[in-house]
Amino acid sequence: MSKSLTPEKINDALNKVYDKVKKKKTGKVASYIPELAKVDPKIYGIVIVTCCGKVYKIGDFKKTVAIESIAKVFTLCMALQHHNKDHIIDKIGTQTSFLPFNSVLALRLSDNHTINPFVNAGAIATASLVKGKTKKSVWKNIHDNMNNFAGKKLKVSEKTYKSEMKTNEHNVALAYLLKSYGKFYNDVEDTVDVYTRQGSVMVNALDLATMASCLANDGVNPRTNKRVFKKKYIPFVLSTMLGGGVYEYSGRWMNEVGIPAKSGVGGGLIGVVPGKFGIAVVSPPLDKHGNSSKGVATFRELSRRLDLNMFHEKAECQMKNKNRKCI
């Protein structure tokens, strides 16, 4: 990874990538949640928030979309504050999946059924691990946690929430199926309600990049200087993002982009470059996997131009001591 990033290089890359990707006209906005179909497909913004709290931005960085599955990252973080990592591995798992994010077949075929915290089955089960005496207090924990990552109070779109609740039979079915396997840890209907609410939180690219930057910055929000997450669990969250953050595309993503990421069907996409910055793209039209089309193209281009791919370390031998002798 490049050790010589400068503000000029970052601004230059943002401008060039934005101009190039803006012209791309592929993808369709999500319509299986009726409210999402109403979003403006032209929204396109990119933001980078560095570990020093510096913000680089271009395009529609203030336009909000529903966070959808990106919320799963922060609910995983919340569950990790209530349980340890081994508990999450046991109750949810870290399997990758080659099937769509809401696949019943994947749930049936997988040994642990929950698969991982980022497909719908595993994500709803992860929400069922968040503690709270009532549905309201579970939601408060999840919402407060997202607010801490964003450094501001994030609003819920009641319209999106109601729209998804009305058409939520599939997620409810996944949750009951998990319950039948003994892989659900709280009341089904209440948890699906909270899970649906977490996806209806409205965010812009600046909010998302700020949230991602906390994971790049050892768990401290670089814009508020508040610790929002335990440093010791960050490698677990990031490696899980790398394995399944963009669903069946994750293998190719590792090859082409090579940084931990998470997408949402609202059109947001975040990436984390550990020790450097969080990146977010917002552009609602999606590819066939449910990832923002322009988002994927943006990350591919940014990774290439800024040399961000963690698998592209220079071949110079790192196994040398101070006297430059090989260990």
Nearest approach, Cβ of 180 to ligand GLN (angstroms)?
Answer: 19
Nearest approach, Cβ of 11 to ligand GLN (angstroms)?
Answer: 30
| Residue 246 burial (CB count, 10 A) | 29
Q: Which is nearer to ligand GLN, 171 or 204 (CB)?
A: 171
Cα separation, 272 vs 253, in Å, equals: 13
Reading the block at residue 43, the tokens are 């929204």
Q: Which is nearer to ligand GLN, 170 or 314 (CB)?
A: 170
Q: Which is nearer to ligand GLN, 50 or 171 (CB)?
A: 171
Q: Which residues contact 234 (CB under 8 A, 6 or more apart)?
A: 215, 218, 219, 274
Reading the block at residue 50, the tokens are 């560095």
Residues that bind ligand GLN (CB under 6 A): 68-69, 101-102, 120, 164, 171, 199, 264-265, 290
Q: Which is nearer to ligand GLN, 145 or 157 (CB)?
A: 157
Cα separation, 138 vs 268, in Å, equals: 24
Question: Which residue is it, tokens 């698969």?
Answer: 115
| Residue among 218, 256, 223, 267 at smallest CA distance from 238 | 218
Cα separation, 44 vs 287, in Å, equals: 15
Nearest approach, Cβ of 63 to ligand GLN (angstroms)?
Answer: 18
Q: Which is nearer to ligand GLN, 101 or 233 (CB)?
A: 101
Chain centre distance of CA 39: 20
Nearest approach, Cβ of 225 to ligand GLN (angstroms)?
Answer: 30
Characterize the bridge pairing of strands 65-66 and 261-263: unpaired
Nearest approach, Cβ of 130 to ligand GLN (angstroms)?
Answer: 16
Q: Which is nearer to ligand GLN, 55 or 202 (CB)?
A: 202
Nearest approach, Cβ of 95 to ligand GLN (angstroms)?
Answer: 17
Residue of this chain nearest to ligand GLN (CB atom) = 69
